[in-house]
Amino acid sequence: MSIFRDHRRPGTTLVELLLFLAFFAIVGGTVVSILFATSDQRMRQQTIASVERTGLQAMQSLRWRIEHAERIMDPLSGHSGSILALQMASASDDPLIIAAESGSLVFVLRDTKKILTPEGMAVSHVIVRNLSPSAARPTILLSFDLAEDFPLPSSPVPQYLQHFEMAVSLLPEDSPMGNECGCDPPVCQSGIYQWQVCTAEECVPADTALPCS
């Protein structure tokens, strides 16, 4: 008596293959979505951190300079403006002008302009309020908005914007040393902010100017 054995092994059917491919596609798509979402989130966090770090660094740099100023020339006590002008003790730093120009936050020492914010970030709504309760206690409130575009075309918001604000009290000396020539205070004329510097005991127009309104 001969015995026939079936040596056929169960194989993969077409339905099982299709189910496997569908499952693989779903898992693969989910993994890719997670990777893209993680990358987008990381880029957003980098933009946010960059704006906040730049704003805080600018505030710290300006605070130190403002505290060491002798007096506030512009705006006058009780008034507000978009430009801060300070009298400094050192002739090489007098006056100190803080303002916005072409979307950047800048300060000018005498007639040397320096930019505080990097290219790609936009500064707006620079407001300076002279809150001095008296001539012996000069105080200002400085605020501005700093923004940078998100490098993501699919981002729900086009940019990250942060508001920065600080109140600073000057620490003036009893006997001011700046403005030995008695130069006139800065003035805005025809959209140009102009000031004088002391050179060889004579007041002359500064080589640098800023836009104003």
- pLDDT digit string, tens, across residues 87-106: 999 989 999 999 999 999 99
24 band by pLDDT with thresholds 50, 70 and 90: low
Residue 63, in any domain of the structure: yes
Q: Is 68 exposed, middle or buried (0-12, 13-18, 19+ CB in 10 A)?
A: middle
Residue 209, in any domain of the structure: no
Give the pLDDT confidence score for residue 145 in this predicted structure.
Answer: 98
Q: Residues 169-187: pLDDT tens digits?
A: 998 766 777 788 889 999 9
Residue 152, in any domain of the structure: yes
Residue 1, in any domain of the structure: no
Comparison of pLDDT for 173 and 33, the residue scoring more: 173
Comparison of pLDDT for 8 and 73, the residue scoring more: 73
Comparison of pLDDT for 150 and 116, the residue scoring more: 116
| Closest by CA position to 127, among listed 166, 69, 184, 77 | 166
Q: Distance (Å, rounded) from C-alpha 48 to C-alpha 42?
A: 10
Q: Is the pLDDT of residue 2 over 60?
A: no
| Closest by CA position to 106, among listed 118, 115, 95, 96 | 115
Residue 36, in any domain of the structure: yes
Residue 90, in any domain of the structure: yes
| Closest by CA position to 144, among listed 187, 191, 186, 101 | 101
Domain count, the chain: 1
Residue type, 184: D
Helices within the chain (DSSP H only): 14-67
16 band by pLDDT with thresholds 50, 70 and 90: low
Comparison of pLDDT for 82 and 152, the residue scoring more: 82
Alpha-carbon distance values, 47 to 12, 65, 80, 147, 186 (Å)? 51, 28, 31, 9, 37
Q: What is the mean pLDDT of residues 40-67?
A: 91
Where in the sequence is the domain holding 82, given as residue range(s)?
14-175
Residue 2, in any domain of the structure: no
Q: What is the mean pLDDT of residues 27-46?
A: 66
Residue 200, in any domain of the structure: no
Phi-psi category of residue 142: left, alpha or beta, with phi > 0 → left and psi -120 to 50 → alpha: beta
Residue 73 CB-half CA count within 13 A: 24
Give the pLDDT confidence score for residue 150 in this predicted structure.
Answer: 86
CB 195 within 8 Å of CB 186:
yes
Distance, CA of 199 to chain centre: 34
